[in-house]
Copies of this chain bind each other. A is one copy, B any other.
């Protein structure tokens, strides 16, 4: 009994947190409720109900199925539903007319064959990537409408009035959807994508700085096992698997009209490129943190020798990333970005020369009797020290790529 109550409370807390973290999700639920109630009452009032007849259910169905979280999703589904219903309906009425002309025996054969052919090809077309990305829902509706109309068994004249009714109800459903979706707290897929990219870039900057800091701070060396990596340095993990959500949002954003500071034909695919570059960075940080947490640790003396340079490099890198993210956020070319990149490159040079100076230190070490120990040190330090450098290289690539992109976004 206590167990059950614990579980219920736990679930409730989690659900509450989903709502509290993002009130727009609650808002979305209310919006769907509002749109549905509007449609329902619209058809519940008798005069209208008698006028449009049974087709009322198509309006409700349209609202339930078309209403999506983002405006882009709503537009995508609405457009797909409207065009698919229209084209499939027209085609089905045509085939129906031909079948009706050709006599009672051939009629079911023609209809059955046409349903089979169209359903097969349409289903197969969903495996084509472009169709999948843009018209997946439309294809489903196309098959559905075609088979419903073809099998209905009405005469063509009846079908025409039916089609007219159905189209008008679907149009009403889509209009109510779009009005509620756009007018009440709209959630734009484009803006979501924009914020996601900015947030991920900030997380990347934080975790790059955080993980290098973690490594070089004193208490960590004293007790390497007990101290867990700081929260800050784990941010890159959600960048690793962001591809799917970025792609889908970029797809939906293409359907949206100009909104906010985003014009028509905003270069959404550029966001995907920036996302790919950031994922590449995140892979490097993942590898870096693997090294930092590995069992082989560099001795303190060599660590100290490199700590300043490494820390400086990582903070320069994260400054570049942060500047980039704020310039993307504001959608204008950053003034200081060139300077910051130059600073970062300088820090890379410093680290390189610090590494060059290492062997001479080590040779002093090998002059002492613990020759074996020194070489051991050498090996482990090389694991840890070269990584920031190695990681800096793609960072620079990314940085220059980002500069180009930010200038394009600004344009």
The reply to whether the CB of A15 lies closer than 8 angstroms to some CB of chain B is yes
Interface segment, one of A1-9, A250-258, A281-289, A339-347: A281-289
Selected contact of A378 from candidates B57, B120, B359, B391, CB within 8 Å: B359
Q: Which residues of B contact A335 (CB under 8 A)?
A: none
Quick one: which of A57-102 are within 8 Å of B by CB?
Answer: 57, 60-61, 64-65
What B residues does A391 contact at CB under 8 A? Answer: 287
Copies of the protein in its oligomer: 2
Tell me which residues across on chain B come within 8 A of A127, comparing CB atoms: 18, 25
Residues of chain B with a CB closer than 8 A to A287's CB: 283-284, 286-287, 390-391
Q: Which of B33, B57, B385 contacts A119 (CB 8 A)?
A: B33
Pick the contact of A120: B30, B352, B372, B376 (CB < 8 A).
B30
Please classify how large the interface on chain A is, using the bins under 10, 10 to 19, 20 to 34, 35 or more. Answer: 35 or more
Q: A32-B120, A116-B34, A356-B375 are in contact. Are A65 and B140 (CB under 8 A)?
A: yes
Q: Is the interface of A mostly helix, strand, loop or mixed?
A: helix
**B383 lies within 8 A of A359 (CB):** no
List the one stretch of A143-151, A200-208, A226-234, A325-333 in contact with chain B. A143-151
Check A390–B36 contact: CB distance below 8 A: no
Which residues of A line the B interface, CB within 8 A? 14-15, 18-19, 25-26, 28-30, 32-34, 36-37, 39-41, 43-44, 49, 54, 56-57, 60-61, 64-65, 108, 111-113, 115-125, 127-128, 140, 143-144, 147-148, 150-153, 240-241, 243-244, 279-280, 283-284, 286-287, 290-291, 294-295, 352, 355-360, 362-363, 366, 372, 374-376, 378-379, 382-383, 385-387, 389-391, 393-394
